[in-house]
Amino acid sequence: MNRPVVAKWFANLEARVDELGIRNMPAHLWNVDESGLQDYSVPNRVVGAVGKPCYQSTSTERGETTTIVAAFNAVGKYVKTLVILHGKRLKPEWLDNLPADLDVMLRMSASGWIMSELFLAWGEKSLLLIRQQCRTSNQLLYEPQHIKR
**Number of structural domains found in the chain:** 1
Task: Please check whether residue 91 lies inside any domain of the structure.
Answer: yes
Task: Please check whether residue 20 lies inside any domain of the structure.
Answer: no
Please state, in angstroms and rounded to a whole number, the distance separating the CA atoms of residues 142 and 32: 6
Q: What is the pLDDT of residues 108-142, one digit of tens each?
A: 998 888 888 998 888 888 877 777 766 667 877 76
Task: Please check whether residue 6 lies inside any domain of the structure.
Answer: no
User: Hey, CA dihedral for 35, 39, 41, 46, is it positive or negative?
Assistant: positive
Expressed as residue numbers, the domain containing 118 is 26-142
Going by C-alpha positions, the residue among 83, 96, 46, 87 that lies closest to residue 64 is 87
pLDDT band at 146 (very low <50, low <70, confident <90, very high): very low
Task: Please check whether residue 4 lies inside any domain of the structure.
Answer: no
The length of the chain in residues reads: 149
pLDDT band at 53 (very low <50, low <70, confident <90, very high): confident
Q: What is the pLDDT of residues 16-49, one digit of tens each?
A: 999 988 888 888 888 888 888 877 666 666 677 8
pLDDT band at 105 (very low <50, low <70, confident <90, very high): confident
Q: What is the pLDDT of residues 72-87, one digit of tens each?
A: 888 888 888 999 988 8
**Distant-in-sequence, close-in-space partners of 108: CB < 8 Å, separation ≥ 6:** 84, 85, 86, 87, 88, 89, 90
Task: Please check whether residue 12 lies inside any domain of the structure.
Answer: no
Task: Please check whether residue 110 lies inside any domain of the structure.
Answer: yes
Please state, in angstroms and rounded to a whole number, the distance separating the CA atoms of residues 128 and 145: 22
Task: Please check whether residue 65 lies inside any domain of the structure.
Answer: yes
Task: Please check whether residue 17 lies inside any domain of the structure.
Answer: no
Identify the DSSP state of 4.
Answer: H
Give the CA distances from residue 69 to residues 104, 123, 137, in Å, rounded to whole numbers and listed in that order: 10, 10, 24
Contact 129, 79 (CB under 8 A): yes
pLDDT band at 61 (very low <50, low <70, confident <90, very high): low
